[in-house]
Structure 1
């Protein structure tokens, strides 16, 4: 009797989604065995900056734990330290331009990622270090680095994958997990369009001294994700963990510091306000000039108040060069502070998908605004759903891919459009009357959400 040949799956992209899928397929090999290969265009794990803090939701946590083996799960506290009771509140607060709290949705306390994953109603999240989560997921994964996919050719029963270095690989199923600029998506679905918001955002990881963090917490409380709304279409966002990080050995004050993510968003038209001045040059290859640009916008668009002063202090902590000394600086890698355009992949730009042996996952399929923190969670959910669908694989049918795509598109299209709607709503310039209306709507929503949560807890006690 001839032994059945083990099918090959190639994953292009070693981000959170691609790595989660790799682990899930290996974890389920007793149910269905695959020869799994994973390729990444970066030259090494530290070749590119790996992102800010993210909020891992209860649904994302459920899918992550479904995907990874227990040996990897044991290392998750490196990326998502257990919650600190009475110190950290894993939620979000929204304030107006001077720091008055407008909206603080209630959150359910949880002690670790396992307890988070058990929350079945509502939406809770745990602030997670994205770069460290990727490091954890990279453990024991034989990624083939410096392999940029440039095209593929489908043949009967399989796919040939071609790389920039001239090499090629054959597989039965090709998974494109290679981000918003995915060459695989562009070939598979050239009609699928990228939607430009006309909004610029600038992000930075910073090290915040305790004295400054204490001032910020007086305004926001100990809530780990804080958003402030301006009146000119601008907004700021800060996400942190209240866990001290190691500082330089020559820090004279020996003051505790905290790792934080800053994001400043504003209408892209403001990128032109400095162009007329010969004294002002904003160069995205010069982080110092971008930071000064952000500070000028904050001073111009925000009122004189304590919150504005704190924001300027925070942005002054952003690295003004590209540091690469792992001992002197508290993070392994830095992203040069650059202006970036806010974009998503428009699910309405195509009527239907044609299922084939080429399948998409994560940002390659449904990049979305980061405003609601749904991107990484959806990528991990994709990996979970696709790994389960692949258990149905046979040489004679790929109908399971259509089933995966149908579920994925329904789930993620709604999130893409919802994130876009919220982004536009908070990015509209408003006058004094508009501010009054906006703030009171958010305050009313805050009351209603808290009433609903209270009633829900009475009815559905966990």
Structure 2
């Protein structure tokens, strides 16, 4: 009897979603064996900045633990340390422009990522170092670096994949996990369009001394994420862990320092404010000019108050130069501070998907606004769902891909549109009456959410 040939799966993209899928397929090889290869366009693991703080939800962590083996799971505390009781609360506050709390959703406590993953009701989050999580997921994975997929040719038996270096390889299933600008998506679904918000955001990871952390805590309490709403369409977001970071040996610090992610968002039309003056030039290749641009906007758009002063102090800590060579920052990597356009992939730009041996995952399929922090969670859930669907693979039947895409599209399209709605609502300039209405609505929502959570906890004690 002829032995069944082991099917080959190509994963293009070694981000959180692609790596989670790789681990899940290897983990499940006793149920279904695949020859799995993973390719990445970057030249090395440290070729490009790998992200800021992110929030992984109970649903995201459930899927992550489903995907990875115990050997990888044992290293998760490197990327997502357990909450420190009494020191930090893994939740979010929304405040007005002077720091008054408008919305503070209740947080269900948990002791570690395993307990978080068991929470089945509501939404809980653990603040995670995205770059470190990627490092953990890379452990033991034979990524083929510097391999950018440029096109593919699908046949009845499988897919021929062409890379930028001129090489070609054959697989039975091709998974595009290669981000919002995915060449695979552009070929598979050229009508699926990128949606531009008309909103600019600037992000930075900074090293913050203890005395400024104390100022943050004075305004936000020990909540790790805080979003402040301006009145001119601008908003500020900061997210941190209250865990001291290791300093470089040549840094003589007289107090502990902490890693904080800063984000400032504003209508893109304000990008033109500074260029009217010959004395002011904003150059995205010059981080110092971008940081000064952000500080000018904060001074112009925000009222004089303690929160505004704090934001200016924090942005002044952002790295203002691009290093000439490799250098170790407290976060092991460096991302030049630049202006970036907020975008998503519009699920309404296409009527239907045609299922084939080419399948999409993560941002390649459903990039979304970062406002609700759902992007990474959905990518990992995609990996979990797709790995389970692939267990049904046979040479002559790929209907499982249609089943995966149906679930994925239902789940992620709702999150894309929800994230877009919230982004626009928080980015619309408003006058004094609008501020009153906005603040009143959020305060009422806060009361209702907390009441519902109290009632829910009485009914479902778990």
Q: Could you say which TM-score interval applies, normalised by the shorter chain?
A: over 0.9
- Check 1:252–1:171 CA distance in 2 against 1; reply closer, same or farther (3 A cut): closer
For residues 377 and 326 of structure 2, the distance between their equivalents in structure 1, rounded to whole angstroms, comes to 29
In structure 2, distance between residues paired with 1:178 and 1:251: 37
User: How is 1:224-243 mapped onto 2 (pairs within 5 angstroms)?
Assistant: 224-243=224-243
Q: Which residue of 2 aligns with 1:371?
A: 371
Query: What are the superposed Cα offsets for residues 359-388 of structure 1, whole Å, 9 maximum, x if unpaired?
Result: 000000000000000000000000000000
Question: 1:286 maps to which residue?
Answer: 286
> Paired residue for 1:56?
56
Over 3 Å counting, the alpha-carbon distance change for 1:443 and 1:326 in structure 2 is farther
Tell me if the contact between 1:326 and 1:332 (Cα under 8 Å) persists in the aligned partners: no
Match in the other structure for 1:405 = 405
1 CA distance for matches of 2:135 and 2:252? Answer: 32
Does the 8 Å CA contact 2:327/2:333 hold for their aligned counterparts? no
Partner of 1:357: 357
**Counterpart in 2 of 1:12?**
12
Is the CA contact 1:180–1:363 (under 8 Å) kept in the aligned structure 2? yes
Determine whether 1:270 maps to 2:270. yes
Specify the alignment match of 2:305 in structure 1: 305
Alignment of 1:59-458 (within 5 A): 59-323=59-323, 329-458=329-458
Question: CA offsets, 1:248-286, max 9 Å, x none?
Answer: 445555201110100000000000001111111100011
What SS does structure 1 have at the residue aligned with 2:274? coil
- C-alpha distance in 2, partners of 1:337/1:41? 22
Deviation at 1:442, TM superposition (A): 0.5
* Deviation of the 1:405 alpha carbon: 0.1
Instruction: Classify 1:250/1:37 alpha carbon distance in 2 versus 1 (closer, same or farther; 3 Å).
Output: closer
Shift of 1:331: 1.2
Q: What is the distance in 1 between the residues matched to 2:165 and 2:154? A: 20
Deviation string 1:321-361 (CA, Å, 9 cap, x unpaired) is: 12477776201111110000000000000000000000000
Deviations 1:8-67 (A, max 9, x none): 000000000000000000000000000000000000000000011100000000000000
Please, what TM-score do these two structures have when normalized by structure 2?
0.99
What secondary structure does 1:408 align onto?
A: helix
CA distance in 1, matches of 2:325, 2:41: 24
Alignment of 1:17-28 (within 5 A): 17-28=17-28
Find the residue that maps to 1:275 and give its secondary structure: helix
Q: Is the 8 A contact 1:323 1:329 kept in 2?
A: no
**Displacement, 1:189?**
0.1
How far off is 1:106 after superposition? 0.4
Following TM superposition, by how much is the alpha carbon of 1:216 offset from its aligned partner in structure 2, in angstroms? 1.0
CA distance in 2, matches of 1:324, 1:389: 46
Paired residues of 1:324 and 1:333 also in contact (CA < 8 A) = no
Q: Cα distance 1:274–1:118, how it changes in 2: closer, same or farther (>3 A)?
A: same
Q: Distance in 1 between matches of 2:245 and 2:333?
A: 15
| Count of equivalent residues | 462
Shift of 1:171: 0.1
SS of 1:20's equivalent? Answer: helix
Change (3 A) 1:324 1:333: farther
CA contact (8 A) 2:80 2:127 kept: yes
Query: Structure 1 length as normaliser, TM-score?
Result: 0.99
- Aligned residues of 2:106 and 2:450 also touching (Cα < 8 A): yes
Q: For the Cα contact (< 8 Å) 1:94–1:101, is it kept in 2?
A: yes
Q: CA deviation digits over 1:121-174, x for unaligned, max 9? A: 000000000000000000000000000000000011100000000001100000
2:275 counterpart SS class = coil
How far did residue 177 of structure 1 move? 0.1
Which ranges of structure 1 fall in alignment gaps of 5 or more residues? none
The answer as to whether partners of 1:234 and 1:264 remain within 8 angstroms in 2 is yes
Q: Structure 2 CA distance, aligned partners of 1:78 and 1:324?
A: 29
* CA RMSD, 1 decimal: 1.0
Aligned equivalents of 2:227 and 2:36: distance in 1?
41
Contact 1:248/1:327 (CA < 8 Å) preserved in 2?
no
